[in-house]
Chains A and B, each alone.
Chain A
Amino acid sequence: MMHQAPTDMTVAAAGPRAGQGYLSLQGLTKRYHDFLAVEAIDLDVAQGEFVALLGPSGCGKTTTLRMIAGLVPTSGGRIVVAGQDLTAVPPHKRDMGLVFQSYALFPHMTIAQNVAFGLEMRRLPRMEIAARVAEAVAMVRLEGREDRRPAQLSGGQQQRVALARALVVRPSILLFDEPLSNLDAKLREEMRSEIREIQQRLGTTALFVTHDQDEALTMSDRIVVMSHGRIEQIGRPEDLYERPATPFVARFVGRTNRFTGNAHGTTIRLGDLAVRAATQRSGPVEVMIRPHRVALAAAGCVPADGLNSVTGIVRRTTYSGDFVQYLVDADGLTFMVEEATVGHGRIAPAGTAVTLTWAPADTLVYEAAP
């Protein structure tokens, strides 16, 4: 099924042209017996770029990463790095750094030995190994813990060792396989900025697998959204959020109101309601409206010209610190509306009659799924 972008605006997806990336995946495919885990993926990543592979579990993102690392043999397609075809190269000759979800530190080696391992494999002189290990350990702020064993460190410290171990070999590409999902929420946010900072400082190309949209949105130059082994959309965080290419992306990234209706030109009938969109369409459609794009005003307020406007009653109000979420019943539909909390904080309680307004460009219209 083909989805079309909701607006005629060209999505400004930065990034290299097809086949021209520093890392280039061309028709990459993985088949397990009858099951297509990854289906002909094309992706180009520029040198120094930080790209997230985002999707629900089972979408093929980890399999893709493991194919790039050489841990999973491909069933089809090519993996090219800096113009070199690596598809058939075994993992130990690929020169990549992989940071695992489970850290995967060597339990029988000290921190320093863990970090030195990749350098030893590259047969570097002892002096240089010592210098680079010290540098890498300092970079992840673990000085003084070089002689500890992994089991003596906390989860966050272990993950920093794993990062240092992958970074110290100066890999062509740094791969992350959900590295933060075993950490608690506060540590996770610290590690996000730490990883991003180090990656930018070193200018390393990075591919980051995650199922956490916040992680992807806050860390990446570009995000690749995957579902059922295929790419749904590639774009900058703001593109994905404001202009989701498919209903899947709209649902997966951020919260959304979802309706089905019938389009006639720019007018769409949602049950008894008629709303306007910025694009022409006809026939059955799926409509998405971001809750924070809808403004809430007291009933009877006259909306500015050209805005969609709906009246309804607040059914439930949920206060969650930085924003207030309302569920509003209007003409048989329920709208989710989110307003940032402001200083004077007028919060409409349940039962309040309200008018909802939003711009036609914020009515995202998709061809209805068959």
Chain B
Amino acid sequence: MTAAAISKVSGRDADFGAAPIALMLLVPITIVNLIGFVLPVANLAILSVSEVRSSGAMTGGWSMAKWLLVATDPFYWELLWNSVRTSLVITALTLAVSYPIALYLHRSTGLWRNALLVMVISPLLLSAVVRTYGWIAILSDQGLVNQGLMALGASEPVRLMFNLTGVTIGLTEILMPYMIVALLAGLGRLDPRVEEAAATLGAPPWRVFVRIVLPLSLPGIALGSLLTFVLAISSFITPKLLGGGRVFLLATEVYDQAMVTLDWPLAATLSIIVLLVFGVALALYGRILRSIG
């Protein structure tokens, strides 16, 4: 790239003392972020290691009590394991259902593609409450599936709700748009001419897929999986409503401790654990991305 091109891209060309103006324009957003984001999150981290009276007031001293509780009580270990396992299953299912959609979208063109894109993105912007409600209508004892089964002669309804099955089905669907969008972004790197080249070199369609399409879409798969896993482990609307208080996951526990038990230090500790799982997932993603090259 020529120097002129570099400067055009950076836009720094017009820089006749623009830095102070830039900082001025960034003041409002910085204030919002400091008050609404940095301060609360820092406070959360501090709270998890603070000494707290039974009234809830901080004494100003430090305490690892909540961390000790979480580390020694097997309930929390099981909670963590359940959450991670469920999120992994959801991630795998989401990938399996989403990949064909993303590939199909990638191959389609024009108005049809746009219509499909609207169908993918609209759920993304539709409240999780609405979509979970839809799943209740499908999965409950009086829902679509069970009424269908009864009509076919089943004697009693299959339990699809108030258990992990329902939560897994619901979350898989709810997280699909994120996966599809990530996969699409990954497939964007795939030049159709490369596939055509492979085909003209004598590769049958399935080999083109295995040798060309799949390897080239790996970064998208990695990103989509990270996103889905992270969102699955921190979701609680769907687990709450479809689990009916009978499914215990990290995120639902954070909510219950914060809003029902009102044990904020414990809620803070659990939410930091959520962040730690995030960190591990992110580190893993980084390694995978590097090994893909």
* Chain A residues proximal to chain B, CB less than 8 Å: 30, 32, 35, 37, 57-58, 60, 62-63, 66, 71-73, 90
Q: How far is the CB of A51 from chain B (nearest CB, A)?
A: 19
Docked-complex contact B16 and A37, CB < 8 angstroms: no
Contact of B13 among A35, A58, A60, A66 (CB under 8 A): A66
B14 adjacent to chain A (CB < 8 Å)? yes
Contact of B3 among A30, A71, A73 (CB under 8 A): A30
The CA of A323 and the CA of B79, in the complex, are separated in Å by 85
Shortest Cβ distance from residue B1 to the other chain A in the assembled complex, whole angstroms: 8
Within 8 A of A (CB), among B1-38: 2-4, 6-7, 13-16
A60 and B6 CA atoms in complex are apart in Å by 12
CB–CB A32/B6 < 8 A: yes
Indicate the member of B2, B4, B13, B14 with the most A CB atoms within 10 Å: B4
Ranked nearest first, the 7 interchain pairs of A and B with the lowest CB-CB distance are A37-B3, A58-B2, A62-B4, A63-B4, A32-B3, A72-B13, A71-B13
- Which chain B residues border A37 with CB–CB below 8 Å? 2-4
Known contacts A73-B13, A90-B16; can you find 10 more A-B pairs with CB under 8 A? Answer: A32-B6, A35-B3, A37-B3, A37-B4, A66-B13, A71-B13, A71-B14, A72-B4, A72-B13, A73-B16
* Chain B residues closer than 8 Å to A62, beta-carbon distance: 2, 4
Residues of B within 8 A of A66 (CB): 4, 13
Residues of B within 8 A of A57 (CB): 2
Question: Can you report 7 residue pairs joining A to B where beta carbons are below 8 Å apart?
Answer: A32-B3, A58-B3, A62-B4, A63-B7, A66-B4, A72-B4, A72-B7
Q: Kindly state the separation between the CA atoms of A57 and B1 in the bound complex, as whole angstroms.
A: 9
Report the separation of the CA atoms of residues A58 and B5 in the bound assembly, to the nearest whole angstrom. Answer: 9
Which residues of the other chain, B, contact A32 by a CB distance below 8 angstroms?
3, 6-7
What's the minimum C-beta distance from A86 to chain B, rounded to whole angstroms? 13
When C-beta atoms are compared, the residue in chain B nearest to A177 turns out to be B4
A61: min CB distance to chain B, Å: 9
Q: How far is the CA of A73 from the CA of B13 in the complex (A)?
A: 7
B14 touches A63 (CB 8 A): no
Set of chain A residues within 8 Å of B3, measured between Cβ atoms: 30, 32, 35, 37, 58, 60, 63
Task: Find chain B residues with CB under 8 A from A63 CB.
Answer: 2-4, 7
**B6 contacts which chain A residues (CB < 8 A)?**
32
- A2 CB, min distance to chain B CBs, angstroms: 25
Q: Would you call B15 and A73 a contact (CB within 8 A)?
A: yes
Q: Which residue of B lies closest to A32 (CB)?
A: B3
User: What is the bound-complex CA distance between A292 and B133, given in angstroms?
Assistant: 83
Cα(A35)–Cα(B3), bound, Å? 8
Q: Which A residues are in CB contact (< 8 Å) with B4?
A: 37, 62-63, 66, 72
Nearest opposing residue in chain A for B3, CB measure: A37
Residue of B with least CB distance to A209: B4
Which B residues are in CB contact (< 8 Å) with A60? 3
In the complex, the chain A residue whose C-beta lies closest to that of B2 is A58
A365 to B28, CA, bound (A): 66
Q: How far is the CA of A335 from the CA of B3 in the complex (A)?
A: 37
A195 to chain B minimum Cβ distance, whole angstroms, is 22
CB neighbours (8 Å) of B14 from chain A are 71
**In the complex, A129 Cα to B195 Cα: how many Å?**
57
Closest to B15 in A: A73
Cα distance, A160 to B174, chains bound together (Å): 53
B13 cross-chain contacts in A, Cβ below 8 A: 66, 71-73
CA of A349 to CA of B244 in the docked complex: distance in angstroms? 92
A211 → chain B closest CB, angstroms: 11
A73 to B4, CA, bound (A): 12
Question: How far, in angstroms, from A73 to B14 measured CA to CA in the complex?
Answer: 8
Residue of chain B at shortest CB distance from A71: B13
| A contact residues around B7 at 8 Å (CB) | 32, 63, 72
Bound-state Cα–Cα, A62 to B5, Å: 9
Residues of B within 8 A of A35 (CB): 3
Name the distance in Å between A17's Cβ and chain B's nearest Cβ: 30
Q: How far is the CB of B6 from chain A (nearest CB, A)?
A: 7
Q: Which residue of B lies closest to A37 (CB)?
A: B3
> Which residues of B are found within 8 Å of A71, using beta-carbon distances?
13-14
Chain A proximity mask over B146-182: 1 for CB below 8 Å, otherwise 0 = 0000000000000000000000000000000000000
Chain A nearest CB: distance from B9 CB in Å? 12
B253-288: contact bitstring with A at CB < 8 Å (1 yes, 0 no)? Answer: 000000000000000000000000000000000000
Q: Which residue of B lies closest to A60 (CB)?
A: B3
Specify the chain B residue showing the minimal Cβ separation from A62: B4
In chain B, positions 128-153 with a C-beta closer than 8 Å to chain A are none
Which A residue's beta carbon lies closest to that of B14? A71
Q: How far is the CB of B103 from chain A (nearest CB, A)?
A: 34
CB-CB nearest in chain B for A56: B2
CA distance A57 to B15 in the complex (A): 24
**Please, how many angstroms separate the alpha-carbon atoms of A71 and B4 in the complex?**
11
Q: How far is the CB of B79 from chain A (nearest CB, A)?
A: 53
A51→B6 CA distance, assembly (Å): 26
Cβ–Cβ < 8 Å partners of A58 in chain B: 2-3
B100 to chain A, nearest CB (A): 38
- Closest A-chain residue to B1, C-beta based? A58
Cα of A84 to Cα of B132 in the assembled complex, Å: 72
A37 to B137, CA, bound (A): 67
Min C-beta distance of A240 to chain B, whole Å: 23
Instruction: Chain B residues near A30: list those with CB within 8 A.
Output: 3
- Complex CA–CA separation, A63 to B3 (angstroms): 8
Chain A residues, Cβ within 8 Å of B16:
73, 90
